[in-house]
Structure 1
Amino acid sequence: MAFPIWLPATLLAGATQAWRTAVQRRVSKELSVNAAGLVRYLYGLPFALMLLAGYRLIYPGPLPSPDPSFLLFCLGGGLAQIVATNLLIMAFAHRNFVVGTAYSKTEAVQGAILSFLLMGERLPPLAWAGIGCGVAGIMLLSVGGKKPGFLRALGQPAALCGIASGFFFALTAIAIRRGTQEVDAGGANADPVLAALIVLVVTVAMQTVMQGGFLLLREPGEMRKVLHGWRISGQVGLLSALGSACWFTGFATAPVALVRIVGQVEVAFTLGFGHFYLGERMKQSEVMGLVLVATGVVLALTGAL
């Protein structure tokens, strides 16, 4: 596979998402789960629109004519991401920032299996070895070097929420990839980055309506808090739009499983933000887990590129 745009886009997505999640965790301390989730969509939509408009200014040309079915993939992917985000915020309530994110990173192996079953995407053996190495690192991160080990820890609320979050994030990735394929049909003027940005805007708009409508009906008081805290929420929206644009570009240009495996570098950025931004202590087991995750990413890249 030639060196494509998905690799730098995925690395940037990991860094941006870790930063956004760190800021969002602070927001979640003052808001309900649904309100904290809405922040990334409501405040992310204007930035997503600006990214699309800016890209069109730099690269003008004919707009694609997507199959209307791409709207269904945007809807499904958007709903799955809402559920995944809420589950991740719930995981934070039970354990620290790093551990909550580590459980959700089982998304890499879940995504590899689901993308094979649903889309027939295959990975070379070395990439699967990288997945195994990365999962081992996540196991070490999740238990923090303490007993009772990973298997018993699976029954804890943080593990259940985190792993379920990873499952729905994997479904999101598959739906978004299919949506970009319907927009970018591979014609003479095919532009996967433009397709990714179009899907991003449509998906975030749908998410704002879905979760915003739910919040207005069930938690109107929380909606007032979301609107009142626009200063810090705007940071979440900006980082969310930038991160999602990079993720969507990766999904549009490479297999879902490969993007998510490399995306595990987010754990490295998460450790950094957890330590320096949130003041959480970094343990020796977390450093060892990070080394395993990084090794898994290198193996996956070596097998795929």
Structure 2
Amino acid sequence: MLPMGESMALWIPFTIFAAFMQAWRNAFQNRLSKEVSTAGVTLARFLWASPLAACYLAGLYLYKPVALPVVTGSFVALILLAAVAQIIATALMVVLFRQRNYAIGVGLAKSEAVIAAVLGALFFSAPLSALAWAGVIIGALAFWLMTNPGALRKVSLNTLLVGLGSGLSFALTTLWVREASLTLGLPFPYSAAWVLLAVILVQTLLLGAWVAWRERGTLLALWQRPGQIVSISLFSCLGSLGWFTAMSLETVALVKTLGQIEVLFTLMISARWFRETLSSRDLVGLALIVVGAVCVMLA
């Protein structure tokens, strides 16, 4: 295992890397969502991710062999829960893409950081400092500003519920992923690599079987778009690698609150690639997310 000081330093670059990769994955998914069903867009992030995760794990063992993990019933349960929760979270975020523009859809899903902080403190023995809670509260304010672009009476209940549902599912995914990583007891970064491969394999099998059963036409649509599918899977795998590794070093609440800077990357992509415009209220919300992330880094 890494010394405490070194691990404290490493989780920050891994989180920033994950946020950057995820921003691009969301951008590719947003474009694909205009051509393929929600289940198809969700499946696209897993199709080529499994071999990529397997290559990463094999590379670690070639570089420095360590003991193989001992698989327990609790580990299997945590992997299954995390895999299903992430499928639901991704599907709900694709629905958000269709309800509002790309940047705001991702901003709504970032309620994940707030929910993860609360659940982590209440049920996963992960209390936060005052400064860290300040970052979480600022992030919550940003989420509200971006969810409610007009007067209180004009708030879209449907958009709010979908956004909260996506955030809750993502939060549960990350909390269960961290717990699964800790149960293996392997050195850094092997535990995160095993969890990454296990989660992606389960997701590919579950969602692939569902799409093959209910939406066979979607499989053809994905086959006809190899470039888009490979891009989504690649950036998804790299993003998950960053998230899972960071969460094996630090609590989910801190990782996900810092990870809200993804929305800053999203804003840049949205403006330059999708040519979308944001209101001043949206820009204030994005700025507050950055402030919240800074509070977490200083906590």
Alignment TM-score, normalising by the size of structure 1: 0.92
Structure 2 counterpart of 1:177, one-letter code: R
Q: Which amino acid is 1:10 matched to?
A: T
Q: Is 1:135 aligned with 2:136?
A: no
| C-alpha contact (below 8 Å) 1:180/1:192 kept by paired residues | no
CA drift at 1:152: 4.5
Partner of 2:16 in structure 1? Answer: 11
Partner of 1:51: 56
Q: Are 2:205 and 1:209 equivalent residues in the alignment?
A: yes
Q: Which residue of 2 aligns with 1:114?
A: 119
Distance 1:72 1:201 in 2: 15
Q: Is the 8 A contact 1:41 1:208 kept in 2?
A: yes
Q: Counterpart in 1 of 2:270?
A: 274
In 1, Cα distance between equivalents of 2:270 and 2:60:
33
Q: Does 1:222 align with 2:223?
A: no
Q: Does the aligned pair in 2 maintain the 1:140–1:289 contact within 8 Å?
A: yes
Which aligned pairs between 1:217-256 and structure 2 lie closer than 5 A?
Answer: 217-256=213-252
**Equivalent AA in structure 2 for residue 85 of structure 1:** T
Residue 148 of structure 1: aligned partner: 151
SS of the equivalent of 2:9 reads: coil
Aligned equivalents of 1:83, 1:214: Cα separation in 2: 13
Contact kept in structure 2, 1:196 and 1:252, CA below 8 Å: yes
Q: In the TM superposition, what whole-angstrom CA distance separates every residue of 1:57-91 from its partner, at most 9, and x where no partner exists?
A: 23333333343421211111000000000000001
Deviation, 1:140, is: 2.3
Greater CA drift, 109-118 or 233-242: 109-118
2:285 aligns with 289
Shift of 1:55: 2.3
The aligned counterpart of 1:174 is 175
Q: Whole-Å Cα distance in 2 between the matches of residues 113 and 252 of structure 1?
A: 19
Q: Which runs of 5+ in 1 are unaligned?
A: none
Tell me if 1:65 matches 2:66. Answer: no
Larger CA deviation: 129-138 vs 212-221:
129-138
| Gap change, CA 1:55 and 1:277, over 3 Å in 2 | farther
Residue 213 (structure 1) shift: 0.5
Partner of 1:29: 34
Task: Say whether the 8 Å CA contact 2:147–2:159 is kept in structure 1.
Answer: no
How far did 1:114 drift?
A: 1.0
Partner amino acid, structure 1, of 2:207: Q
Q: Which amino acid aligns with 1:153?
A: V
Alpha-carbon offset, residue 268 of structure 1: 0.3
- Tell me the equivalent position of 1:103: 108
Deviation at 1:206, TM superposition (A): 0.5
Identity %: 34
Kept in 2, the 8 Å contact 1:174–1:256? The answer is yes
Structure-1 separation of matches of 2:278 and 2:268: 9
Q: CA RMSD in A?
A: 1.6
Q: 1:260 aligns with which of 256, 262, 268?
A: 256
How many residue pairs get aligned? The number is 294
**Deviation at residue 302 of structure 1 after TM alignment:** 1.5
Q: Quick one: distance in 2 between partners of 1:74 and 1:93?
A: 29
TM-score scaled to structure 2, two decimals? Answer: 0.94
Q: Which runs of 4+ in 1 moved over 6 A?
A: none
Give the whole-Å Cα distance in 2 for the aligned partners of 1:207 and 1:259. 23
- The 1-side partners of 2:38 and 2:277 are apart by 25
